[in-house]
Structure 1
C-alpha cells in the first residue's frame, strides 16, 4: 500500500474529517447569523442614509414590504443595513425567526 503505514493513514484521514467538519460548521454559523438579522419595510417609502441620522445624505430607498438584511448595530434610532447603509428602526419590522 504505497509504503504508508495503515495507522498513519487513519490519523491523516481522521484529521481531515475533523477539519472539514469544523469548516462546515463555521460556514453554516456565519450564514445563519445573517439570515437571522432580517427585516421587512413597514413604510410606503423608507429613506436609506449614509449614516445614523436624518442629517446624513439619502443613498437609497426601500419600499413597503421589501425584505432587507441588517446588522445588529442600532444608533440614534437607526439600524445599520448591509453595505454600511442606515434606516430608521421605526419602519423596520423583524422577520419571522429574527434574533437580531
Structure 2
C-alpha cells in the first residue's frame, strides 16, 4: 500500500510540474506579446511625430531621439552646430533661424 501511495505522489508531482511548466510557458508568451505591442506603439508614435514635423526623415529619423547617434544634430535646436555639447561659443546663425527659412 505504501509503495502505491509513493508512486501516486510521484505521478501527482510530475503532473503538477507539467502544469507549472505550461503556466510559465503561457506567461512568457503573454510577455512577448505585450513587448511586441509596445514596440508597435512606439513605432506608430515615431511615425506620427515625423508626419507632424514634416521632416520626412533627414533629421528625426537617423537616430530616434538618442543623442550621440548620427542624428543630423536636429535635436539640438539647430544653430549650435555641435558646439553646445563641448561648451564652445555658439555659431552666429541667421536672423530668425529656422523659423524664417520656411517656404
With the shorter chain as reference, the TM-score category is 0.3 to 0.5
TM-score of the superposition, structure 1-length normalised? 0.41
Which structure has greater helix proportion?
Answer: 2
Greater Rg by CA: 2
TM-score of the superposition, structure 2-length normalised? 0.40
